[in-house]
Amino acid sequence: MLLINKSKTKLIIFLFCGFYGTIAEAFAIYCGAWQYNNTSFLNVPFWLPVLWGIAAISILEVANFIMKLESKR
């Protein structure tokens, strides 16, 4: 999706949220909130930064869609 759209803003959001979302989860895991069985780095799975990035882009897309609907009212 990021390669097709070639949006620098979305890429920055993906990387930023992927990194800081993972850091936040690593902190929560360190504090004992939960744990993952198969971990790779900082006691989090390797796929977690990608998941946080996808979630951030998805939230952005939903928010843009809602704003477009509201502007048509």
Q: What digits encode the pLDDT tens for the residues 35-72?
A: 888 888 788 999 999 999 999 999 999 999 999 999 98
Task: Give the mean model confidence (pLDDT) for residues 2-8.
Answer: 76
Task: Give the mean model confidence (pLDDT) for residues 21-25.
Answer: 95
Q: Give how far Cα 63 sits from Cα of 9, 14, 71, Å.
A: 15, 15, 12
Q: Return the structure tokens found at 56.
A: 């951030």
pTM of the model: 0.83
Q: Which amino acid is at 53?
A: G
Which residues does 57 contact at the CB level (< 8 Å), separation at least 6?
1, 2, 10, 13, 14
Task: Give the mean model confidence (pLDDT) for residues 15-43.
Answer: 91
> Which of these, 67, 61, 63, 56, lies nearest to 19 by C-alpha position?
56
